[in-house]
Amino acid sequence: MDVDVLIVGAGPAGSTTARFCASEGIDVLMIDRRREIGYPVQCGELLPDTDEMYTIFPEGQDLKELFTLPSHLIQRTCDNIDLISPGGKTYRCEFKSHVLDRRFFDKHLVDLAINAGSRLSMDSSLLSLENGIARTTLGNIKAKVIVGADGPNSKTMRQTGMDDSRMNYPAVTCQAKGSFEPVVKMYFGSVAPGGYGWIIPKASGANIGIGFNPRIFKGRPRTVFDKFMATMDCEYGDLTMGLVPMSGPASSTVRENVLLVGDAAGQVMATNGGGIPTAMIAGRIAGKTIAEHLAGKCSLSVYEKRWREVMEKPLRTALSTRRLADIFFLNDRLLGMSMRILGRRGLDRAIRCKRILF
Ligand SMILES: Cc1cc2nc3c(=O)[nH]c(=O)nc-3n(C[C@H](O)[C@H](O)[C@H](O)COP(=O)(O)OP(=O)(O)OC[C@H]3O[C@@H](n4cnc5c(N)ncnc54)[C@H](O)[C@@H]3O)c2cc1C
């Protein structure tokens, strides 16, 4: 099979790339190994408000085009995030965010891509890349451009040798029943070693989970999760586990006719683990750049330059903060003390990917 653009993965990165590429009249095929888009949900489902996104990514352009959502996709809006130290001290930061239902959100993004003219094949996996040909469960696919939007464990990344010895944090989440304060809560310390535990209130119930640094805690994710849930008094349903790339953006995201977008490119904010906004911002840049490239107006490497102009500085700053925090994460007392020294203002800057030390 021949296509102009093959996109591996139909999460936020892949579907946004497909939307902006297909809308320029390019022949785009998305493949995804899942049977259903967006399911199972492996996410805290929190999306910063667009104004907050401008404070994180001041170079971002027309973010409203990407993040203006139909109201039915938003389960709840929260105005604050409580950051809770190991000793139980709460630092309340103003931070407006929307709580999504990822199952419907991801489907919405795919619908936008399909309406723009892109095709989708579910239950279809990339197996390998050989001499520019994608071997997939649909057969061999020859594409002018291949996009690796296949998440934190990206096969596209590994097959093209763009692997940077990435570090992924394990994360476990569940949907809990009950009534919860309309504030996002993040718990730090040995409750989620090197990461944090969260309660993200939904329209009814909450998304509760933990993510942790596997170098600080080498045991099973379930052990950390069970310990965290033991501190809550609520019923919850099935658990899902996922990975969050926390070692910063890949040093290279374009090689020959292949480019990486979203988690596959390590485009995640290392102080909060958020990767939906970055996947979509990079996806729009990728889609538009591919269309220009196929029209003979630029090389594919322009994608690398463009996304770094918008996101590299905040992503690198967040990574430096996370690396510094790793020293304090080793000990609850030290962590509590460092949170007290930083205070609400410093913590507020950390979650917004700003420098905490002047
Ligand atoms: C537990 C957890 C909680 C999180 N909470 C938040 C949050 O609250 N807010 C936030 O902004 N971010 C959060 N994140 C991060 C966020 O989910 C990701 O950054 C985001 O989904 C990245 O989008 P993506 O399209 O790059 O990757 P994904 O959403 O992972 O999509 C990749 C797609 O590729 C497909 N795929 C993989 N391999 C293949 C293959 N070989 N062939 C075909 N298809 C393939 C997968 O099926 C998947 O559909 C969380 C992550 C985890 C694990």
Residue nearest to atom 3 of ligand 1 (CA): 43
Shortest-distance atom of ligand 1 to CA 209: 1
Question: Of 136-140, 274-278, 352-356, which range is least confident?
Answer: 352-356
To which residue do tokens 């279809």 refer? 124
Range of the domain at 304: 2-351
pLDDT band at 52 (very low <50, low <70, confident <90, very high): very high
- Looking at residue 280, its pLDDT comes to 98
Query: Is residue 358 pLDDT above 90, yes or no?
Result: no
Task: State pLDDT tens for residues 188-214.
Answer: 999 999 999 999 999 999 999 999 999
Q: What's the gap in Å between 47 CA and the centre of ligand 1?
A: 14
- Looking at residue 137, its pLDDT comes to 98
Q: Tell me, yes or no, whether 74 lies in a domain.
A: yes
Question: Strands 139-148 and 2-8: what pairing?
Answer: parallel
Q: What's the gap in Å between 67 CA and the centre of ligand 1?
A: 17
Q: Which residue has the higher pLDDT, 75 or 356?
A: 75
Distance CA 243, CA 251 (A): 20
pLDDT band at 164 (very low <50, low <70, confident <90, very high): low
Report the pLDDT averaged over residues 62-67.
Answer: 96
Residue nearest to atom 19 of ligand 1 (CA): 275
Q: Tell me, yes or no, whether 357 lies in a domain.
A: no
Query: Is residue 165 pLDDT above 80, yes or no?
Result: no
- Looking at residue 7, its pLDDT comes to 98
Task: State pLDDT tens for residues 73-88.
Answer: 999 999 999 999 999 9
Distance CA 142, CA 5 (A): 9
**150 contacts 266 by C-beta, under 8 angstroms:** no
Q: Tell me, yes or no, whether 287 lies in a domain.
A: yes
Q: What's the gap in Å between 152 CA and the centre of ligand 1?
A: 7
Among candidates 242, 244, 247, 243, which has minimal Cα distance to 164?
A: 247
Report the pLDDT averaged over residues 309-315.
Answer: 97
How crowded is residue 340: how many other Cβ atoms within 10 Å of its Cβ? 13
Among candidates 65, 53, 64, 59, which has minimal Cα distance to 20?
A: 65
Q: Tell me, yes or no, whether 263 lies in a domain.
A: yes
Q: What's the gap in Å between 265 CA and the centre of ligand 1?
A: 12
Shortest-distance atom of ligand 1 to CA 9: 34
Distance CA 234, CA 179 (A): 9
Q: Which residue has the higher pLDDT, 114 or 357?
A: 114
Q: What's the gap in Å between 224 CA and the centre of ligand 1?
A: 21
Q: Tell me, yes or no, whether 35 lies in a domain.
A: yes
Q: What's the gap in Å between 196 CA and the centre of ligand 1?
A: 18
Distance CA 45, CA 69 (A): 14
- Looking at residue 233, its pLDDT comes to 86
> Above pLDDT 70, what percent of the chain?
99
Ligand 1 pocket at CB < 6 A:
8-14, 31-34, 42-46, 125-126, 149-151, 155, 171, 173, 209, 242-244, 262-264, 268, 273-276, 279
**188 contacts 339 by C-beta, under 8 angstroms:** yes
Q: Tell me, yes or no, whether 358 lies in a domain.
A: no
- Looking at residue 110, its pLDDT comes to 98
Give how many domains the chain has, as a whole number: 1
43: domain CATH number?
3.50.50.60
Is residue 182 reached through a cis peptide bond, with omega within 30 degrees of 0 on the bond before it?
no
Q: Is 190 strand, coil or helix?
A: coil
Distance CA 276, CA 263 (A): 9
Q: Tell me, yes or no, whether 328 lies in a domain.
A: yes
Q: For residue 241, what are its two tokens?
A: 């586990």
Q: Tell me, yes or no, whether 356 lies in a domain.
A: no
pTM of structure: 0.96
- φ, ψ for residue 176 (rounded to 5)? -105, 150
Distance CA 239, CA 324 (A): 31
- Looking at residue 341, its pLDDT comes to 93
Q: What's the gap in Å between 151 CA and the centre of ligand 1?
A: 5
Residue nearest to atom 16 of ligand 1 (CA): 275
Looking at residue 260, its amino acid is L
